[in-house]
């Protein structure tokens, strides 16, 4: 079982590239943002807590997110070749907890962090476009978008050093056409497939 992370700021194209990866490499895509939006739709206890936080651009508590991830890992269908985590881990504390979880339950570790590098100006443009298509509430105001970008720089970007130090970090230019980005990701996937 392989454990990949697709990494990058909000609106970097993680979801788009994940869909392509799922098809080509028979992976299961786990987007914590998507799982949380499902909980909101169901109006579950978790969804009610998450709604307010997501709509103002804050992170949901680690305990909630980690429980969702623990379930995914422990209940994995053995026919799945691996996972692509999208939107997780988002903080150093989540990354450390993730390492422990993989080690404890599966005697494994993260295989690679595929990082889409995109400038802030392009992120805003892309999220505005996504807002028109998907109608997500957290994409609808510029204040919320800017808050998420700021939070990304402050809390999520430190993960770059964390994974670089562990030799797991693979940067990819994110401002190219979708197919070109995917081609570059596939090259990386081929180069690390036996690790
Ligand atoms: P984006 O494209 O902005 O990265 P996501 O769908 O990944 O969107 O996440 C949407 C929101 O869900 C985040 O802004 C955050 O509030 C919440 N969220 C998603 N993943 C996590 C996580 N790992 N930890 C905390 N909050 C999360």
pLDDT of residue 106: 83
Closest residue CA from atom 10 of ligand 1: 33
Give the pLDDT confidence of 164-182 residue by residue, as tens digits.
Answer: 999 999 999 999 999 999 9
As a whole number, the mean pLDDT across the chain is: 95
Task: Tell me, using a 6 A CB cutoff, whether residue 53 lines ligand 1.
Answer: yes
Give the pLDDT confidence of 67-108 residue by residue, as tens digits.
Answer: 999 999 989 888 888 999 999 999 999 999 999 999 998 889
Q: Which helix (H) or strand (E) holds 42?
A: helix 32-42
Residue 194 CA to ligand 1 centre (angstroms): 31
pLDDT of residue 99: 98
- How many Å separate Cα 137 from the centre of its chain? 19
Tally of domains in the chain: 1
Task: Tell me, using a 6 A CB cutoff, whether residue 54 lines ligand 1.
Answer: yes
Q: Distance between CA 195 and CA 162 in Å, rounded?
A: 19
Task: Tell me, using a 6 A CB cutoff, whether residue 4 lines ligand 1.
Answer: no
Residue 39 CA to ligand 1 centre (angstroms): 13
Task: Identify the domain containing residue 80 by its residue range.
Answer: 2-193
Closest residue CA from atom 4 of ligand 1: 10
In this structure, what token pair is assigned to residue 164?
């670089």
Quickly list H helices, 56-91: 62-74
Q: Where does residue 43 rank: exposed (0-12), middle (13-18), buried (19+ CB within 10 A)?
A: exposed
pLDDT at 163 over 90: yes
Task: Tell me, using a 6 A CB cutoff, whether residue 98 lines ligand 1.
Answer: no
Question: Which atom of ligand 1 is least distant from the CA of 53?
Answer: 16
CA angle 29, 34, 39 (to 5 degrees): 130
**Three-class SS of residue 176?**
coil
Give the pLDDT confidence of 32-51 residue by residue, as tens digits.
Answer: 999 999 999 999 999 999 99
Question: CB of 68 within 8 A of CB of 33?
Answer: no
CATH of the domain at 173: 3.40.50.300
Residue 59 CA to ligand 1 centre (angstroms): 6
Q: Provide, rounded to the nearest whole percent, the portion of the chain with pLDDT above 70.
A: 100
Residue 79 CA to ligand 1 centre (angstroms): 28
Distances (CA, A) of 131 to 31, 41, 136, 145, 152: 18, 18, 6, 11, 19
């Amino acid at each position: 079982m392989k454990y990949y992370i697709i990494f990058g700021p909000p609106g970097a194209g993680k979801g788009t590239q994940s869909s392509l990866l799922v098809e080509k490499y028979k992976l299961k895509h786990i987007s914590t943002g998507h799982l949380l939006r499902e909980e909101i739709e169901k109006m579950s206890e978790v969804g009610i807590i998450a709604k307010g936080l997501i709509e103002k651009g804050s992170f949901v508590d680690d305990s909630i997110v980690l429980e969702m991830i623990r379930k995914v890992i422990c209940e994995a269908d053995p026919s799945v070749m691996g996972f692509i985590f999208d939107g997780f881990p988002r903080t150093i504390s989540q990354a450390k907890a993730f390492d422990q979880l993989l080690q404890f339950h599966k005697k494994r570790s993260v295989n690679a962090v595929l990082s889409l590098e995109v400038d802030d100006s392009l992120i805003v443009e892309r999220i505005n476009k996504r807002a028109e298509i998907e109608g997500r509430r957290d994409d609808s105001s510029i204040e919320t978008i800017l808050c998420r970008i700021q939070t990304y720089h402050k809390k999520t970007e430190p993960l770059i050093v964390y994974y670089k130090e562990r030799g797991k970090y693979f940067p990819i230019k994110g401002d190219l056409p979708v197919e070109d980005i995917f081609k570059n990701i596939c090259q990386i996937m081929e180069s690390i497939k036996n690790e």
